[in-house]
Every structure is written in structure tokens, then in C-alpha cells.
Chains A and B, each alone.
Chain A
Amino acid sequence: MPLGVVAIAMVAVKLFAVAVPVSSDTISINTLLAALGFTLMRLGIAYILAVLVSIPLAVLATASPTMEAMFLPMFDIFQSVPILAFFPVIILIFINVKFFTGAAITILFLSMVWNIVFTLIGGINVIPRDIIAAAHLFGLWGWTYFWKVLLPAMVPQLVTGSILAFAQGWNIIIVAEVLHTYIPHGTAAQDLFGIGSILVSASAHGQSTVFLWALCITIVAIALINFFIWQKLLRYAQRFRFE
């Protein structure tokens, strides 16, 4: 499934590849919205991958006290390593396959995944012992236990972790889209078309109007996502909370 998502991303990027407008003094609102769309697509793909990876990692790490003692320190080290330190290496890998978006998605994924993993581990650890005992007593084991008990029980923490992860993604997006600074002898043409790269490009070229418009659109997008997605999901997740 993660490979499928990456494949879809590759096709989408090839179909809608647009250069970053660096030289014009003005930029149309449609271009800004398209840039926002690309940025959201990268964030969305990275987020989906982060969720798909986080859930099994969290389940694995909490499977037994031994597993927890083994995996938690390991995860702690991974999440402490600065993500941007990986970026030049990641870019070099993706340059070879000429898939720059892959580099951006990977860095976004790495910035998101640990937020979700650690909140999910916290969520699994607070499942009441009576609930686990009841589930096992009534025959819920293995996959059935995962689908019917563990996954629903994780929903509140998944939503909280997702909000944190997406916020982290927005923080990283500027770096993730402005690839040329990490490529030896790189040029702005190697940057990815997105709201992050437009912000950097506008700032570098003194295009204050473009910069302000891009900034406003980013803020509005973040606010709308918060209002229409995260707030609704937070309310929905209340139902999954244990008293």
C-alpha cells in the first residue's frame, strides 16, 4: 500500500509538473492555489505513509514489556536525530531516480512519523486492563482484536498525533520544496512547485506582494484544514475515549 501511494504520487507529479515561477513580479491566484494543491498533496501522501507505518510500529512496540523495552529506546534515538541532517542523503538517492518529489515526501514523512508513533504508543498503553480482559474473554484475538479493539482504541491518539504531525509537516515544507540548496551546484529550477518554494522564492527576489499572498493563502489553508478536518475529527474521536 505505501508503494501504491508513492506510485500514484509519481504519476501525479509527472502529469502536473509545473516550474516554480521565480522571475515574474506578479503571480496569479490560480498559480498560488495550484501550488497550495501540490503542497497539500505532498503533505497528504507523507501523512498517509506516516500513519500506515506508525500503526504497526506502535502495535509492535507495545506487544509485550520485552518489545517495549527493546523498541522504545530505539524509537527515541530515531526521533532525536535531526531530520534535516538526512536531507542531503535523501536527495542524492532520489536524484538517481529523478524523482525529487520523493525526496520531499520522504523528509515530510520522517518529520511526521515519530509524532504519530509516540502518541499511538501512549494511547495503547492507556487501554483499560478490563477492556483488554473483556476482549480476550469474548474471543477477540489477533486480527479481530486489532480491528475491533486496538484500532478504535487508538483513534483519539491518532487524531492528536495527526494534528501534531501535520503541524510538523507545515514547518518542514519550505525546506522540503526548496531542494536546490541541498543539491551540489543546484539551481532554483530543481525546486518543487509548491507554496513553500514560492514563499522562499518570493522572499529571495523581494516580491513582497507575492510573498504576502502566498503567506495568506497558507494561513487560510491551515485554518480551514483545522476547522473542517481536525476539529471535526477531535469531536468524533471523543466517542472512542475511555472514561
Chain B
Amino acid sequence: MLNASDSNNLIVFNGIGKTYPHEHTSALHDISFSVEKGTLTCFIGPSGSGKSTVLKLIAGLEKPTIGSIQAPPPKNISMVFQSGALFPWLTAVDNVALVLQVRDARLSKTIARKKAQEFLALVRLQEYAEKYPADLSGGQRQRVGIARALAVTPDVLLLDEPFSALDPKTTAELHDDLLRLWKQTGTTILAVSHLIEEAVALASSIILIKEGTIAQRYTLHIPYPRREQETAFIQEVHHIRRDFFA
């Protein structure tokens, strides 16, 4: 059995199963893994394999049907959503300031906005602070989502395919931003992706999920920054692809 007290583990899944009501098959079954503090782990797998469910379980948005999860309390977990999930009636800075004020009720609106500006600067969006989400590009919206997620200084940052709807150039920029912020903050990051290349570009560890269970786990030793044309990168992608389509 895996244990959070072992080494540096921050998240531990022990024999997790998840079945949704009114569904005959289980979304997840017999999932066990651990994630060390400060690592960047990527879950990959085909659509409907249960990757996003794993993130929801970590975030406390879903409860497992069976098994146990050891993770930081929900207030120390933050998430960037595929759709951005920004509140359309709030400006970029107010989207970030809102979560700051919710997490710390003593914070005045002025101070929360000032702090929010600092987090927007982290993702190079300070000039767009007063724009509404509808006036931002897809990449800018995801940057606000990242700023909002980081603003609560989480122990764990979850990313649910946040780059899947973006063009390759914006995706590459956001990958660089994410890696920079990861190094800067030391936050433990767990991301979901359906792209093997994206996972290899970002992750220190990759977990392949197929049909609701863990099919394989990989630890990557390729130094950052990783470039797609490098031999080690290509070999790693080929290696994972074999298992992915097996």
C-alpha cells in the first residue's frame, strides 16, 4: 500500500475506483499512484479514459466509490480548466481578485486587486487587467486562469487540458510560461493531456491511463527546455506511443 508519509509524497491514490450513478461501467478502477512534492506529472490517455476524473478526485470535486486518497485539503488545491472557466462578468483582474478575497475575507478589494495585478504580471497580462474575458484571446484567457489558480498559492496545481483549444504558437508560449512558473514557485503540478508530445515537453513524470486504469508510468530525465526535434524527445514519444496504441 502506498503512503503519504513515505518519502516526499504529496498525493497518494490507493485502489481508487469510481462509478457514476446510472452508468454500468466504472470510470476508474484500481488506480494506485503517488505524486512527489514539486514534480510535474502528466496524465495522458485516450478520450474517456478517466484522466479528468483523476483530477476531479484530487480537487475534491468528486468522491471515489472505493479506495482512499491522501491529498492536501481542497483550499490548498487550485485548478486551470479546459474552458478557462472565467466569470464573464468580471474583468481579468477581478477574476483573480475574487478568489483572493474568498480565500482571505479580511483582504480589502483594493489590496486584492493589487495582488491580482501582480499575478497577472507573472503571466505577462498586466496590460489586459481591465479587459473582460470576452475581449481576450483563448491564450490570454488561459493565462488569466493560470494567474487565478496561482493567486491562491496552492500546494497542488491541476491543469485539465488547458491548452487543447489553442493554436500551436500560443500553446508553445504557454508551455514555456508554465515551466517558468513551475520552476519559480515549486508548486506540484498535475496536468491532463491527450497529446503525448505535450506531456513529454512538460512532465517530469507521465502516467498513461487506459480504460479507467493505469496502463504505464514513465519517469523522464530529459533536461529542460525540451525541443521536439531532439533525439531523446523523439525516442520518448515513440516509446510512449507504442504503449498508448497497444
CB-based A-B contact count at 8 angstroms: 56
Tell whether, in the assembled complex, residue A241 and residue B61 are in contact, meaning their CB atoms are under 8 Å apart.
Answer: no
Tell whether, in the assembled complex, residue B85 and residue A155 are in contact, meaning their CB atoms are under 8 Å apart.
Answer: no
Which parts of B110-165 form the interface with A (CB within 8 Å)?
132, 134, 148, 152
Tell whether, in the assembled complex, residue B75 and residue A139 are in contact, meaning their CB atoms are under 8 Å apart.
Answer: yes
Q: A144 contacts which chain B residues (CB < 8 A)?
A: 102
Residue of A at shortest CB range from B160?
A130
Residues of B near any A CB (own CB < 8 A): 56, 59-61, 74-75, 77-79, 81-85, 87-89, 98-99, 102-103, 132, 134, 148, 152
The answer for the CA separation of A144 and B78 in the assembled complex, in Å, is: 18
The answer for the CA separation of A155 and B89 in the assembled complex, in Å, is: 10
The answer for the CA separation of A144 and B101 in the assembled complex, in Å, is: 11
Q: CB < 8 Å: which of A130, A148, A239, A241 contacts B85? A: A130
Tell whether, in the assembled complex, residue A138 and residue B102 are in contact, meaning their CB atoms are under 8 Å apart.
Answer: yes
Among B60, B74, B85, B148, chain A packs the most CB atoms within 10 A around the CB of: B85
Q: A133 contacts which chain B residues (CB < 8 A)?
A: 56, 59, 61, 79, 81, 85
Tell whether, in the assembled complex, residue A134 and residue B79 are in contact, meaning their CB atoms are under 8 Å apart.
Answer: yes
Interface string of A114-157 (1 = CB under 8 A from B): 00000000000000101101101111100010001100100100
The answer for the CA separation of A130 and B160 in the assembled complex, in Å, is: 10
Interface size class of A (residues with CB under 8 A): 20 to 34
The answer for the CA separation of A136 and B99 in the assembled complex, in Å, is: 10
Q: CB < 8 Å: which of B77, B79, B102 contacts A140? A: B102
Interface residue A242 (Cβ < 8 Å from any Cβ of B): yes
Tell whether, in the assembled complex, residue B61 and residue A136 are in contact, meaning their CB atoms are under 8 Å apart.
Answer: yes
Residue of B at shortest CB range from A140?
B102
Which parts of A135-184 form the interface with B (CB within 8 Å)?
136-140, 144, 148-149, 152, 155
Q: CB < 8 Å: which of B56, B83, B89, B152 contacts A138? A: B152
What would 29 A/B residue contacts be, using CB atoms closer than 8 Å? A128-B85, A130-B81, A130-B83, A130-B84, A131-B85, A131-B87, A133-B56, A133-B59, A133-B79, A133-B81, A134-B81, A134-B85, A136-B61, A137-B60, A137-B79, A138-B98, A138-B99, A138-B102, A138-B148, A139-B75, A139-B99, A139-B102, A139-B103, A144-B102, A148-B87, A152-B89, A155-B89, A239-B132, A240-B88
Q: A131 contacts which chain B residues (CB < 8 A)?
A: 85, 87
The answer for the CA separation of A112 and B232 in the assembled complex, in Å, is: 68
Closest 5 CB pairs of A and B: A134-B85, A130-B85, A138-B99, A130-B81, A139-B102
The main secondary structure of chain A at its interface with chain B is: helix
Known: A137-B77, A138-B98. 10 other contacts (CB 8 A): A133-B59, A133-B85, A137-B61, A137-B74, A138-B99, A140-B102, A148-B102, A155-B89, A239-B88, A240-B88
Residue of B at shortest CB range from A242?
B88
Tell whether, in the assembled complex, residue B89 and residue A239 are in contact, meaning their CB atoms are under 8 Å apart.
Answer: yes
Tell whether, in the assembled complex, residue A137 and residue B102 are in contact, meaning their CB atoms are under 8 Å apart.
Answer: no
CB distance from A2 to the nearest CB of B (A): 26
The answer for the CA separation of A82 and B98 in the assembled complex, in Å, is: 45
The answer for the CA separation of A193 and B103 in the assembled complex, in Å, is: 54
CB distance from A239 to the nearest CB of B (A): 5
Q: A128-B85, A131-B85, A152-B89 are in contact. Are A239 and B79 (CB under 8 A)?
A: no
The answer for the CA separation of A133 and B85 in the assembled complex, in Å, is: 9
The answer for the CA separation of A155 and B61 in the assembled complex, in Å, is: 26
Tell whether, in the assembled complex, residue A130 and residue B82 are in contact, meaning their CB atoms are under 8 Å apart.
Answer: yes
Q: B98 contacts which chain A residues (CB < 8 A)?
A: 138, 148
CB distance from A58 to the nearest CB of B (A): 18
The answer for the CA separation of A239 and B98 in the assembled complex, in Å, is: 17
The answer for the CA separation of A239 and B74 in the assembled complex, in Å, is: 30
The answer for the CA separation of A134 and B134 in the assembled complex, in Å, is: 18
